Structures are given as structure tokens and as C-alpha cells.
Amino acid sequence: MIRPVEPIGAIALLAGLLGTIDCYGAQGAGTPLDGLTADQRDRFKQGSAVFAKVFAPKTGLGPLFNGVSCKSCHNQPVSGGNGSFTQLNGSVLLPNGFCDPLADRGGPVFQLSVTPALKAALGITAEPIPAEASRGMRTTPDIFGFGLLDAVPEATILAHADPDDADADGISGRVNRFFDGRVGRFGRKALTPTLAEFTEGAFHVEAGLTVPNILKEGTVGGKEIPAGVDPVPEPEVSEVMVALTNAYVATLAPAQPDDLDGTAKRGQRSFSSIGCDKCHLPSLRTGDHPIKALANRQFAAYTDLLLHDMGPELADICQGLVATPSEFRTEPLMALRLARRYLHDGRASSIEQAVELHGGEAAHARDAFRALSGSDRRALLRFLGTL
């Protein structure tokens, strides 16, 4: 007789096995930034262990969750990379103009897994999402080089914004704002202001783990979790563990682009000439930073961290104080060559298809891409494939 494998056991087993496959190093991705001090490198190592730590219900997982560890989602091709999991977001645009993240009903992220105890108590296998919610699917991005994005001064983001298209180039660029009014930059709609908050929030939202800054368990569709379902005392993740995870995530190096051959260099020129670089800014510069390796450094970002209207075909949900359903933050193209699915919801299976699906403010660049000769299109795609 074969004993049925419990879903959580299977997930944890898979995550455990993934943890054995690599430390870091494939294609230069997953390595620490150059120039870290010995102490910073040590914290990177310790943080990578927390990132890979597999949680179970008895160590605080859930009761609602999407993954059993950070690495269970971010693992392709190495820790910190992209992954196959797709997250479910929901929101409702209220008549008064407020983009309701459904915080009183479990939103904006609706978890797709539950612990056995919650399943036994409520008979559910995922968090219920309100029927009136607009839905948005989000692929798991890689997080290589995100510390550099975090270190870009807010003034730089604001300087590139052109909310009313004052220069009449057909491209605006708006700043999203978090619920406390700060400028957002992380997440597909630039909701979250800082990388540290993004990481902390992920512990809570993706793994159902409480952290010192978020001591209350999430709800199940807005209702308190039944008594006894998650008896692990708060916080389930210590301040030290959160700090080490932040240190790891912040100092993950960007994946090194491949060398450009002649064709790719031609494609790079087309990238600029057809206007891709108006939103996908090839480089950004960080400001002062306590970690020297992150300070005052020019890096290949390929984003302006601003919201752009991408047209009705890609539209899904509103988010934050500014982002409309059709607005998305310019996706950084760092480590683009490591992706296997493209666009926010993974609907494109190739870079070319992703370009073809650009609309709204990007329609002009998309049409210019279509107008390129076959040879020039291939050159541009070759360039993008080096990033």
C-alpha cells in the first residue's frame, strides 16, 4: 500500500530538494555583489540560508500561503531567480475613486494553498476571492540586482516622471504611491517603496509568516483564522532572520549580461532608435548607501520604475494610489535572458511575443519594431536575449 503524499509534505520535500541543488553561481546569477566586505558576504551567506529555509505549519507556515520558503518560488536557475509560481491579486475600483485592495477581505494577494489544519477547520483549499474583484495574475520575478534598484534615489524616479506628457512624445510615466503616500517602486505596479518592506511583506503574504513589523496573522477572506489553527507564537520569523534575508536580497548581484557580438550591438542601436529606451532606461545610478557596493553605481536597469499605460489588452487591476488597471511599472530587463515566461502574468512565451503584446504608450515602439526588417528584428531580439 502506498501512503498518499500530503500536499504540504510534497511541497516541502520539493523545496528541500531544491535547496540541495545549488548554492549560487550558475551564469553569474545568484552571486553576491562585488565589493562587499567580509562581514557583508557573511550576512549574504546567512541570509541565503534563511531565504532557503523551509517552513512548515509547526514553524509558522500559513495557515494561508503560496510557498513554503522564499526559494520555493524564486529558484530558476538558482536561488533568487524567477520561478513557475503565479500569484493571484485582486482589487476593486470603488465608485469614490479609491482602488480598494480588499484588505478587509484578505486582499490584495489571495493565497492559493492552505495548511491541513485550516482545510480541516474550514474545508477550503485556497483563500476565497470576492466575486466582484478584478483579478491580476503575477509571475514570480527574479530579484537579482534589486538592491541596486532600491538604492536609486527617489529624486531620480521623480525626475523621469512626465505625468501629463509635457514633452509630447506620447509617453507619460507616473509615480505610484503606497498607502502612506511614499513613492513606490517594487512590484509589477510599483506599489512598495522599499526592498526591505517588499521582503517583509513577502514573508507574511507568501508564506503566512508573521514578522516583527507585521505581528498579526492574515485573515481568511477577512475573517480571523479559527482558534488553534496556527498556534505558533508571533513573530514566527525573528528580527534577525528578517534582517539577514534583507541583507541577502539587497546584495544579490545583477546577472551579468552576455557579451554583445556585432548583431547584438546592431540590435542595441535599434532598441534605442525605435524608442524602447524611453521607458526601459538602459542605466540608472544609485545614490549614497551604507553598503559601499551599492553606492553611487551606474548599472544596467532597463527601467524607469514608473507606471505607463500599456493599453486595454494587458489591463487587469488597479493598485496603490495611482496605478490604473492598464498601468504597469516598466519591467526591469535585468536577467531577461533567464526568464521563461514574459509580461506580468506570463502570457507571453517569448521575448518577441512580449514585445508584440505591448500596447498603449508602447504601441509606437511596438509598431516601429514591426516595421523593422526581419534582420533588424532578429538583431534586436538577439540583443534582448543577452540581458
Partner 1 sequence: MLHGVPMRRRVTLPAFASTLALLASLACGGSYKAAPAPGPDSGPKVVTGTCRDYDYATRTLDLVAGVSFALRMIAFKLHENTEISVRGRRAELSELQANTVLRIEYRVTPQGNLADKITVVLDARGMRGP
Q: Is residue 243 within 8 Å of residue 81, measured between CB atoms?
A: no
Considering beta carbons, is residue 200 or 345 the nearer one to partner 1?
200
The H or E element spanning position 336 is: none
Return the DSSP state at 49: H
Nearest to 140 by CA among 94, 67, 82: 82
Indicate the residue among 270 and 326 with the shorter CB distance to partner 1: 326
Taking the CB of residue 327, how many other CB atoms lie within 10 A of it?
24
φ, ψ of residue 72 in degrees (nearest 5): -65, -25
Nearer to partner 1, 300 or 306 (CB): 306
The neighbour count for residue 159, using CB atoms within 10 Å, is 10
Closest to partner 1 by CB, 198 or 383 = 198
> Minimum Å distance from CB 168 to partner 1?
17
Least CB distance to partner 1 at residue 285 (A): 18
Report the DSSP pairing between strands 99-100 and 113-114. Answer: unpaired
CB of residue 341 to partner 1, shortest distance in Å: 21
- Our CB check for partner 1 shows the closer of 46 and 350 to be 46
Q: Could you tell me which of 244, 275, 230, 267 has the C-alpha nearest to residue 374?
A: 267
Task: Give the nearest distance from C-beta 74 to partner 1 in angstroms.
Answer: 15
Minimum Å gap between C-beta 155 and partner 1 is 10
Query: Minimum CB separation from partner 1 for residue 380, in Å?
Result: 31
Alpha-helical regions (H) of 151-277: 154-160, 195-207, 239-250, 262-273
